[in-house]
Structure 1
Amino acid sequence: MLILFVKAEAFKDDVDQIGANLLMDYIGANQGSEMFRIVRQEMRAAYDPRSDFVVMNKNQAILSLSATVEAERWPEVHTKIREIYETSRAGGIERTGLKIQHDQLNRIYFNRFFSDPVWGAQFYLTEHPTGADGTITFPLFEALEAVSLDKIVAKSEEHLPPLDDFLLILIGGGIAPAEALKSNGYCSLPKNTPLSFCLDALSNVQS
C-alpha cells in the first residue's frame, strides 16, 4: 500500500519557506529524519519512508509525505506518520537533528546552484522572473544563511499546515479507510480511471 500525503502551499516570505523546508526535511527527507528513524528502523515498516519539498515558484512548493508498506499495516503506519508530523508541528523537535538538516540543505542549495546550470538558471528565474538590474540578490539563500533554528521551532505551527489540509492518497490493498478518515472528503477511484476523477469529485464537494 502506498500512503501519500500531498499539498500545494504558498508561503508569506522566504523565511517562512525555509522554515517549512527544514521542518519537512526533519520529518522525513533522509536517513537522519524522524520518519526514517521510526518508520524504517524502529517499526521496520517501510524501506524508504520520506518527505519531499518541491519548490514550484517564488514562495510556492509541493509538500508531501509518503511510505510504501505491507497492506495490512497501512493504518498503523498512517497513524505513526501523522504522529510524527503533528509532534514536529507542535514544536517537539530535537535541535541537533534540525541543525543537521539545516547544514545539509545549505550544502544542497549552494552545490546545486554552482554545479547544476539548469537548476541554477531555474532558481534565478524563480527569484527574478523579469530579470535584474545591478547587484543580483537571492533572498532565499540569505534567509537560509540567517535563519534561527530556535525561531523555526517556536513558529513550527505557523510554518507547517495542518495535516488534515493535505490530500491523502492510498494506492494498493488492505482494509478500507475508517469512517473518521472518510468524513473529511473521500473518493474511491474505480479501476483504470485517472486520478483526475477523484480530484474533480473532491473539488466539487469542497466547493
Structure 2
Amino acid sequence: MKLPTKKWGFRLTDWASALTGAEEQSSALPSGTIHFADPDSTEMLILLVKAEEFEDEGAQIGANLLVDYIGDNSGSEMFRIIRQEMRAAYEPRSNFIVLGKNKAIISLSATVEAKKWPEIYGTMKAIYENTRAGKVDLSGLKVQHDRLNNTYVSQFFTSPVWGVKHYLHEYPDGAEGTINLPLFMVLENAPLNKIIASSEEYLPPLDDFLLILIGGGDAPSEKLKSKGYCALPKNTSLSFCLDALSQVSN
C-alpha cells in the first residue's frame, strides 16, 4: 500500500502548529529522530524541522533567504538536484514559517520511494550543509531575494490578515503615532554578499534539527538513532515522541 500523499502533504503551517503549539507561542523542539514505520508503504516522508529564535530582523531575513535558496521553489537547490537531476521526490522543498517576532520554523521535506530514502536524506543533508558553508550562487540568492521581497509587498497590500499578523508581531500591545515594520526595510536592503560569507551564522547546524520519518523502507541508521530516537507507535499522538525526546535532551 502506498502512503496517501495528500494525507502526509498537508500544509507545513499545520505541522508547525502541531509540533510547536504555535497558538501558545511556544518555540521549543527537541533534536533527534521520530520514526513511524509502515511496512506496507512504498514511500517515505522525510521531514527535518527546527524552531529557531533570531537575534534581530537581519538574522531572520538572512536565514529566510538561505532557506528559500535551499528548497522553496523551482529555482532552488532541492528542486534542481532532487527533482530534476535525480527525479527522486514529490515536491522536495524547504519552508520558513514565521511564528512571531524573530521566531520561525525552518523545515526541509520530501516524499520519496521508500527504498531510496537514506540516499535522498543524504542529498538533503549535503544541500543544507553546503549552503551553510557558503557554497551559494549569488545570482541564485538574488532571485530568491527578489521573490521574497515581492511576496512581502504583495501580501502586505492584498492580504489584510497577513499585514495584521506582522503588525502584531512588532506591536503586540498596539501603537500610537508612526508605525515602523523594520523587517520590511531589512529585507529590501539585505546584504546578499555578507549573508553568503556568514551563512554559518544564519543557519543552525543540521544536528540541531528534529528528523521525522513516516512510511516504509529501512529503519534509521544507528548513527541517526544515537542523537535521540523514538519509534512512534500506531495510533499514537506525535506528542508522545516529542515528550520522550525532550526528556533525553534535558
Interval containing the TM-score (normalised by the shorter chain) = over 0.9
Cα shift readout 1:69-99 (whole Å, capped 9, x = no counterpart): 0000000000000000000000000011000
Identity of aligned residues (%): 67
Matches for 1:168-179 after TM superposition, within 5 Å: 168-179=211-222
Supply the AA of the counterpart residue of 1:45.
Answer: A
**Quick one: higher RCO (CA 8 Å, sep 6+), 1 or 2?**
2
Q: CA deviation at 1:135?
A: 1.4
Tell me the matched-pair count.
Answer: 207
Cα shift readout 1:39-69 (whole Å, capped 9, x = no counterpart): 0000000120000000000000001000000
Distance 2:159 2:247 in 1: 41
**Structure 2 alignment gaps of length 5 or more:** 1-43
Aligned to 1:6: 49
Supply the AA of the counterpart residue of 2:65.
Answer: L
Structure with greater strand share of residues: 2
Residue 82 (structure 2) pairs with residue 39 (structure 1): yes
Residue 205 (structure 2) pairs with residue 155 (structure 1): no
Supply the AA of the counterpart residue of 1:144.
Answer: L
Residue 46 (structure 2) pairs with residue 22 (structure 1): no
Matches for 1:105-144 after TM superposition, within 5 Å: 105-144=148-187
Distance 1:121 1:196 in 2: 30
- The 4+ residue runs of structure 1 with deviation greater than 2 A are none
Residue 82 (structure 2) pairs with residue 48 (structure 1): no
Give me the CA root mean square deviation: 0.6
Which deviates more from structure 2 when the two are superposed, residues 122-131 or residues 154-163? 122-131
Distance 2:95 2:224 in 1: 23
Distance 1:163 1:170 in 2: 16
Distance 1:39 1:122 in 2: 34
Secondary structure, aligned partner of 1:177: coil
Distance 2:225 2:130 in 1: 23
Secondary structure, aligned partner of 1:190: coil
Secondary structure, aligned partner of 2:46: strand
Distance 2:131 2:55 in 1: 20
Q: CA deviation at 1:118?
A: 0.8
1:68 counterpart (108, 111, 124): 111
Supply the AA of the counterpart residue of 1:179.
Answer: E
